[in-house]
Amino acid sequence: MVVLSVPAEVTVILLDIEGTTTPIAFVKAEEDSHLDGAVPIPAASGNGADDLPQMIQAVVDNVCWQMSLDRKTTALKQLQGHMWRAAFTAGRMKAEFFDDVVPAVRKWREAGMKVYIYSSGSVEAQKLLFGHSTEGDLLELVDGHFDTKIGHKVESESYRKIANSIGCSTNNILFLTDVTLEASAAEEADVHVAVVVRPGNAGLTDDEKTYYSLITSFSELYLPSSS
């Protein structure tokens, strides 16, 4: 098995969700007007209830368009959170995690690591996902959650803010993600990164494969402190 040694200065593991802890297939279900093919929600005409059917249809069309592009807008992710709340709390849905995730996270925590989540999904949706998994309530395995309210995942400033909020230096953090743009932003902030390669994830270029440390399972991470 390939092993990636975690630098000794790392005390925090920051996890992406989609494509990292959880299959993309489980999850897929600002201002966009500048985008090609945007489906806008028009302003109401002021005719009150007369507008309602058209407004509802416009919102549905806009949401379908955003979903078709896998947009990570805060508004769409809040809507996802509301829908997940209904489905998870009624017991109609259980979240999936890759098999290696829960055992590895338990091991990291036993070794004294803190584990945080940073996802485009809203904190509410993250808590629903961890709280209603096929392996039970996993919320106790997580020290805290961040979403795009702290900043976008492709902006390095977001990672500085996360370190500040946790109360550590950026180089105390190891960020695991499937998206190289996120890895690059984190690295620019002096965060350690590893790119997670999972079934169903987008492919990486040869340059990306050469440049980044890659793991296909959390079990490939070796913590010197846990040996």
Ligand X SMILES: CSCCC(=O)C(=O)COP(=O)(O)O
Residue with tokens 């550590």: 168
Applying CB under 5 A, which part among 16-24, 28-36, 46-54, 106-114 lies near Mg ion?
A: 16-24
226 is in an annotated binding site: no
Distance (Å) of CA 95 to CA 6, 69, 82, 137, 149: 28, 22, 15, 10, 23
Q: Considering the complex, state which of residue 55 and residue 154 has its C-beta at the smaller distance from ligand X.
A: 154
Cβ 225 vs Cβ 111: under 8 Å: yes
Q: Which residues bind ligand X (CB under 6 A)?
A: 16-19, 27, 72, 77, 80, 119-121, 125-126, 129, 153
d(CA 63, CA 60): 5
Q: Which residues pair with 144 in a beta bridge?
A: 116
d(CA 19, CA 200): 8
Instruction: Decide which of Mg ion, ligand X, none touches 113; Cβ closer than 5 to 8 Å per partner kind.
Output: none
d(CA 200, CA 25): 7
Shortest CB 179 distance to Mg ion, Å: 5
Residues 6+ apart with CB under 8 A from 34: none
Residue with tokens 């743009």: 181
Q: What mask of x and - would describe binding to Mg ion in positions 19 to 58, judged by CB under 5 A?
A: x---------------------------------------
Residues 6+ apart with CB under 8 A from 155: 185
Instruction: Decide which of ligand X, Mg ion, none touches 125; Cβ closer than 5 to 8 Å per partner kind.
Output: ligand X
120 is in an annotated binding site: yes
155 is in an annotated binding site: no
121 in contact with Mg ion (CB under 5 A): no
178 is in an annotated binding site: yes
> Contact with Mg ion (CB under 5 A): which of 32, 147, 155, 178?
178
Instruction: Decide which of Mg ion, ligand X, none touches 158; Cβ closer than 5 to 8 Å per partner kind.
Output: none
What is the H or E stretch that residue 65 is in? Answer: helix 52-68
Residue list for the binding site for Mg(2+): 16, 18, 178
Residue list for the binding site for substrate: 119-120, 153
